[in-house]
Amino acid sequence: MPMTGVLRPGHAQLRVLDMEESVHFYTNVLGLKETGRDKSGRVYFKAWDERDHNSVILRQADRAGMDFFGFKVESKEVLENLDKALKAYGVTTERMPAGEMMETGERVRFKAPTGHTFELYAEKNHVGNGLGDFAPEAWNPDQKGISPVRMDHALIYGKDIDGTRKLFEEVFGFRVTERVKLEDKTTDLAAFITCSTKAHDLAMVRHGEDDKLHHVSFRLDSWEQVLRAADIMTMNRVSIDIGPTRHGITRGATIYFFDPSGNRLETFCGGYEWYPDMHEITWPVEEVGRAIFYHDRKLNEAFLAVVT
Amino acid sequence: MPMTGVLRPGHAQLRVLDMEESVHFYTNVLGLKETGRDKSGRVYFKAWDERDHNSVILRQADRAGMDFFGFKVESKEVLENLDKALKAYGVTTERMPAGEMMETGERVRFKAPTGHTFELYAEKNHVGNGLGDFAPEAWNPDQKGISPVRMDHALIYGKDIDGTRKLFEEVFGFRVTERVKLEDKTTDLAAFITCSTKAHDLAMVRHGEDDKLHHVSFRLDSWEQVLRAADIMTMNRVSIDIGPTRHGITRGATIYFFDPSGNRLETFCGGYEWYPDMHEITWPVEEVGRAIFYHDRKLNEAFLAVVT
Amino acid sequence: MPMTGVLRPGHAQLRVLDMEESVHFYTNVLGLKETGRDKSGRVYFKAWDERDHNSVILRQADRAGMDFFGFKVESKEVLENLDKALKAYGVTTERMPAGEMMETGERVRFKAPTGHTFELYAEKNHVGNGLGDFAPEAWNPDQKGISPVRMDHALIYGKDIDGTRKLFEEVFGFRVTERVKLEDKTTDLAAFITCSTKAHDLAMVRHGEDDKLHHVSFRLDSWEQVLRAADIMTMNRVSIDIGPTRHGITRGATIYFFDPSGNRLETFCGGYEWYPDMHEITWPVEEVGRAIFYHDRKLNEAFLAVVT
Amino acid sequence: MPMTGVLRPGHAQLRVLDMEESVHFYTNVLGLKETGRDKSGRVYFKAWDERDHNSVILRQADRAGMDFFGFKVESKEVLENLDKALKAYGVTTERMPAGEMMETGERVRFKAPTGHTFELYAEKNHVGNGLGDFAPEAWNPDQKGISPVRMDHALIYGKDIDGTRKLFEEVFGFRVTERVKLEDKTTDLAAFITCSTKAHDLAMVRHGEDDKLHHVSFRLDSWEQVLRAADIMTMNRVSIDIGPTRHGITRGATIYFFDPSGNRLETFCGGYEWYPDMHEITWPVEEVGRAIFYHDRKLNEAFLAVVT
């Protein structure tokens, strides 16, 4: 695939209001594996089939939200090149030293036009999925709770989504897969962009306030796993925003729900394989309901209003 | 994703013994869409969710097998560069003129060390999946038979699989995801390689005769679709080689079956998402049964013996 | 199983506002098979795997709703016995002559305490499911639209649900599987009753107006079929009330939706196997949300208000 | 449903060669719950959604096989009546006292013409499924291994299957759902009989030796659970006979596998709902392959030969 050196969404650092309650939730309900805690009190998690040490980091704070979202790149050389490219594009970058985040190498940090902090990094220690690299079994039976396969993408809210989209397109080589257009048929209400064959690795919605998180998303293997996830949410009295249902955009089947601090998360499955020779898909704002919630065909109140 | 300009497996030309019977099979049983016929009598098909004009081409012949397997590349520039790279690697290439294959641009053709003919091309006309690019529905209800989503990969048999693997690695930037090792723990019995985040875009098994096809594979969306495919095969008295079952390699769930000419095909679902920072997986020959057929844990006789 | 001679819900006659539009909907969207039309203009349908001639009958009228709901009984002898038992219980019965409904024998009709008209019958002509009785295939590929397996049950609304429940228990041998209790912990808000090993063959909710239909329900084979049903509803812009989701009561996975006349229908799958030695399940009204919509854990406005 | 007082298959006592190994297998691999051990060393199990104390009892012995298969009946009155009916039919019965089997009332035991020991009982203590009868959750997350919903049926082998079938039909009111006919088109090779709406509660195959067990079967909720079961078998190196596949008879999706003593078990899902007004299905011996293994369309060697 002819793309840049960005591999995938690699980590998200989320702010939570009560660490103990949150660790219980992310471990036993969402079913991530706790992989470590650092001196500053942050707790690190990975999804079962991820091989790197961590993909979700929780930090206790007095308000919910996402501190930053990181992408793993192919190599240290790519990291250096993308840092230069960011600067050439006019973006200020900052270096976070290796080890500042557990088991993770040096990170290049920058602020996107929507106010979100993003990071690039080339190194995170490989801890594996418990199956080994030699004649492995098909999956790891040591799982709790919903137990997604991997952290998959985020949907962010902010003002200048054109600026953030362009930065990812022009500096990192992301490609637009789908857009929702406002009444003027020109302005994007939302854009979905990818650095792989996934229908989206990052998505953004135009919103009056910057640096907001709509959701961080976790991949499940099947629609039956989506039902099981919803059941587990109810058994644990997790606040479900919507679902199980399907998105028109990406075709993925989904549940939106909230962690105990009010951060929206998603568990989903499916979605088409995207290739760069496919035509971009456009949704008019009149169809935004079906675009987002394919069965209800209307947005719920929370979709545009509730972010952290 | 930091890879080369090869997008994906794009087309396979298969030899069939009786065109009428084969068109019935590929249309009504496998459930591809016939998209055209050319002057030489070849019949063109696409899977429903593919956007390009064709992915399977049938040619009547007196013996079954695969004439060639083609990869779509990102652009004409990439095509020219890869042609040069092939020549620099010592591979003779041939140009097939635009239009020689329906709705398809110029192709660069070459023979791999295992004797298989491969092609690269940059252009094939976009005909879409019937849903359009504007506020599309989630899928196209106009489907017949098994109706896979897309043609996905091929497994080829030949002598010098090291040579073919290296060519794809060194010239096209493919990466090895899994291998089966012979008793000497050194020689590859089989290698699985990818140019995307799929667990394989091409696979090869060491075999005494060159230029042989084990199977061409078609993707389904779910394990329930795999069961439905097996049911449809029985209703049509299609010869099933094995399945439904799972592969240990790639984790995909699968059925192997034969077209009326004896060409083995596969319908499958699932398989993990591969990234270039993942460790290569190795299977010893003692575990080849579980590697290939995860539930039976032994090869059936046909696996190593029946090819076209 | 030690029960009475009532086999199952056999037919529902629904009132529709526009027959042509309705025939299109029940044929192409819900995917029933039209099996006949009678002189009075009624149109008859069956689900694909039902063997009897019809299970849904549409009658054009100026308001929507259900004319009557019929149960098939084991034999003409049982029919006579149950007629006598009804009379002995103080219920007036009426005979509908054989042939008044297409391909259907004599029916015993009566009004239940909630004002609903029920029928019993012993004979409806066997037309089969298209697979025959000799070495049949696993299913019939000749299907359109959602294509449920069979008509399964109805949920009715009325005032004296105690009376209707008791009649079905005492005269027909139905058994209560689950109940929702009002705040007084004594009065039933809802009761679910069965004459088989299904979690319900009939359900009833206490309501200020008699003879109301909440929904007629159709069985699907799997949760994936439920998703497919929801997709088909959206493709056809069918009004979806709620779902896909799960019921706490019965555990079934469900979609509620409306036919073009506003009659609520359900497609569902799953639900436990019930046996008469199982304990009755009770839900307090505080848990009615989770009882009905297991994931949302609250009733939507339509559940108690919208009936026909 | 107009049937007799037999509720369902209630318990199977199996002989195992090594109790410790077997308890591990039935607990951690098959995923039943151990519910008790008696003085004679027998170990009792139930499937998670069963409400009675036990459904599988293991007894250590020097050869594998099934000691007896028990059916629960509706009441002690029914038990007395069926005992009398058995005697009137010419069958010798024996009383096993209450408590001889843990938490189980008095049993009526008899030998069927195929030499198998069957039992009837009316009482087994209700221990529930862990969810309670008050506003229960949809399922119990405390599960290990394959974890079937319930023990479902058995397939027995013996000489006089006509005699055993007739006994169950004439004394207990079972009904034939499907048959396989030998070349003479008259003699049954196999018969499937039911006392409920299940496609079979007991099945029998004509065989040269009496009192043989082909398999005891356990119900799963979905085809995805069947795949998961096969995966768990491979992870535990369980001997799989065949599957995942589908039966033509009953339409159920299945895996046959062996416990550590060589007793064949089945995990399956699906199968149609049977009603007594449905036509009996007949399979000629020429189609027995498709009847038993719908996708392979031929019997494997083990099907007719390997029994315990």
- Within 8 A of C233 by CB-CB distance, chain A residues are 295
pLDDT at A124: 98
Q: Give yes or no: residues A180 and A257 share one domain.
A: yes
Q: Give yes or no: residues D11 and D101 share one domain.
A: yes
| D34 domain-assigned | yes
- At what angle are helices A76-88 and A161-172 packed, to 10 degrees? 130
pLDDT at B2: 41
| C260 domain-assigned | yes
- Within 8 A of D296 by CB-CB distance, chain B residues are 240
Q: Give yes or no: residues C229 and C299 share one domain.
A: yes
Segments of chain D scoring below 50 in pLDDT:
1-3
Structure tokens at D5: 């007082």
pLDDT at B154: 98
What domain range is C251 assigned to? 150-305
Neighbouring chains of C at 3+ CB pairs under 8 Å are A, B, D
The interface predicted TM-score (ipTM) is 0.96
Q: Tell me the residue ranges of DSSP E strands in chain D.
A: 6-16, 33-37, 43-46, 56-60, 65-73, 93-96, 107-111, 117-121, 150-158, 175-181, 188-194, 202-206, 212-219, 240-246, 253-258, 264-269, 281-284
**Residue D279 at interface with chain C, using a CB cutoff of 8 Å:** yes
Residue B10 · residue B55 · CB < 8 Å: yes
**Residue D300 at interface with chain B, using a CB cutoff of 8 Å:** no
Residue in C230, C246, C255 closest to A227 by CB? C246
Q: Give yes or no: residues B206 and B294 share one domain.
A: yes
pLDDT in tens, chain C (308 residues): 444 699 999 999 999 999 999 999 999 999 999 999 999 999 999 999 999 999 999 999 999 999 999 999 999 999 999 999 999 999 999 999 999 999 999 999 999 999 999 999 999 999 999 999 999 999 999 999 999 999 999 999 999 999 999 999 999 999 999 999 999 999 999 999 999 999 999 999 999 999 999 999 999 999 999 999 999 999 999 999 999 999 999 999 999 999 999 999 999 999 999 999 999 999 999 999 999 999 999 999 899 899 99
**Residue A185 at interface with chain B, using a CB cutoff of 8 Å:** no
Q: Which among A230, A212, A47 is positioned nearest to A115, based on CA atoms?
A: A212
10-residue averages of pLDDT along chain B (308 residues): 78 98 98 98 98 98 98 96 97 98 98 98 98 98 97 98 98 97 98 97 98 98 98 98 98 98 98 96 98 96 92
- Within 8 A of D231 by CB-CB distance, chain A residues are 137-139
Residue in A5, A78, A272 closest to B49 by CB? A272
pLDDT at C1: 44
Contact across the interface for C135 and D290, Cβ inside 8 Å: yes
Q: Which among C28, C207, C27 is positioned nearest to C114, based on CA atoms?
A: C207
| A127 domain-assigned | no
Q: Give yes or no: residues C95 and C171 share one domain.
A: no
Q: Give yes or no: residues A301 and A202 share one domain.
A: yes
| D130 domain-assigned | no
Give A82→chain B minimum CA distance, Å. 13
**Residue B279 at interface with chain A, using a CB cutoff of 8 Å:** yes
Contact across the interface for C240 and A290, Cβ inside 8 Å: no
Q: Rounded to whole angstroms, how far apart are CA atoms B80 and C205? A: 72
| A132 domain-assigned | no
Q: Give yes or no: residues B112 and B256 share one domain.
A: no
Q: Rounded to whole angstroms, how far apart are CA atoms C294 and C247? A: 5
Q: Rounded to whole angstroms, how far apart are CA atoms C146 and B63? A: 42
Interface B-C: count of C-beta contacts within 8 A: 21
- Number of domains within chain B: 2
Dihedral pair phi/psi, residue D101, rounded to 5°:
-110, 135
| Number of helices and strands in chain A (H, E) | 6, 17
- Within 8 A of A235 by CB-CB distance, chain D residues are 137-138, 141
Q: Give yes or no: residues D33 and D82 share one domain.
A: yes
C-alpha D190: how far from its chain's center?
15
**Residue B245 at interface with chain D, using a CB cutoff of 8 Å:** yes
| A115 domain-assigned | yes
| C130 domain-assigned | no
Domain boundary among C105, C121, C137: C121
Q: Give yes or no: residues A168 and A301 share one domain.
A: yes
- List the CATH number of the domain containing D102: 3.10.180.10
Q: Give yes or no: residues D90 and D166 share one domain.
A: no
Q: Give yes or no: residues A16 and A68 share one domain.
A: yes
Catalytic residue list of D: 153, 200, 215, 247, 256, 266
The residue in chain C having the minimum alpha-carbon distance to the alpha carbon of residue A234 is: C295
Q: Give yes or no: residues B172 and B84 share one domain.
A: no
**pLDDT, mean over chain A:** 97
Domain boundary among A105, A121, A137: A121
**Residue A294 at interface with chain C, using a CB cutoff of 8 Å:** yes
Instruction: Decide if pLDDT at A145 tops 60.
Output: yes
Q: Which among D55, D64, D57, D46 is positioned nearest to D8, based on CA atoms?
A: D55
**Residue D297 at interface with chain B, using a CB cutoff of 8 Å:** yes
CB interface of A with D, residues 204-243, below 8 Å: 222, 224, 231-232, 234-235
pLDDT at C35: 98
| A194 domain-assigned | yes
Domain boundary among A121, A141, A162: A121
Dihedral pair phi/psi, residue B219, rounded to 5°:
-90, 135
Mean pLDDT of A199-208: 98
Q: Convert A240-262 to b/e letters by CB count within 10 Å (16 or more is b).
A: bbbbbbbbbbbbbbbbbbbbbbe
pLDDT at C286: 97
Residue A167 · residue A116 · CB < 8 Å: no
Give A235→chain C minimum CA distance, Å. 9
